[in-house]
Amino acid sequence: MERLDEKQPATSTSPETPAPASSSLVTVNPMAVSVRSDRSDASAAERPAPPHSLRNEIRVWTRDLLIAIGLALVIIVFLYQPVKVEGTSMAPLLSDQERIFINKFVYRFEPIERGDVVVFWYPLDRSKSFIKRVVGLPGETVEIRRGALYVDGKNIPEPYVPAQYEDLSDFGPVRVPKDSYFVMGDHRVSSNDSRVFGPVESQFIYGRAVFAYWPVDHFGSLSTTDADTK
């Protein structure tokens, strides 16, 4: 069995004004009123900027930095959520105690696809979250023959399931109901998945695993089709 321990909690640039086309370019201090070409003004331009100009510049940089930090926090809190994996049913893609980010809004704009690693409320206990891989879509017939996955009678290659993790038993066939998905762990011999609790309704799937950040040797994007990168 594998579940998730959730933790409630990642710049902006201003458009540059294009320089006028001319034979030479001059960067003008915005505090200056005018530019003249006589010697007295040239020597004045060499003087250090007044203290209040430096303070204004610092305030602008501080404001931009705070805006960038605020946007990053909004993205983390409202779009991505850090979670901790407990268990080994998604090995070798995910290991026990691994920390990952899930995208909580991706399925508001994209459909759930075969191969997606999704996070959902455990059907037998809504207080727990599980993470598994989608192998069957709504309306499809799923069957396992000596460990091999068949969907609507067609064999589906699964490169993310190593030979030592295969479960050579048979299962099904079962038809996936409308608005539901058949999910399984990559570590087939030790996974509590749809073979046990049945297909998962789409309303209970609330995120897709997108990025691993701890431990550091697992740092990187989580592929939906290949676990060999882990």
What residues are annotated to the active site? 89, 132
76 near 70, Cβ under 8 Å? no
97 near 85, Cβ under 8 Å? yes
115 near 224, Cβ under 8 Å? yes
Residue 46 — left, alpha, or beta (φ > 0 → left; ψ -120 to 50 → alpha)? alpha
Q: Rounded to whole angstroms, how far apart are CA atoms 76 and 102?
A: 10
Q: Rounded to whole angstroms, how far apart are CA atoms 227 and 64?
A: 40
Which residue type does 145 have?
R
Q: What angle do CA 77, 82, 88 make, to 5 degrees?
A: 160
State how far the alpha carbon of 104 is from the alpha carbons of 99, 126, 156, 178, 204, in Å. Answer: 16, 17, 27, 22, 12
Q: Tokens at residue 176, please? A: 């996936």
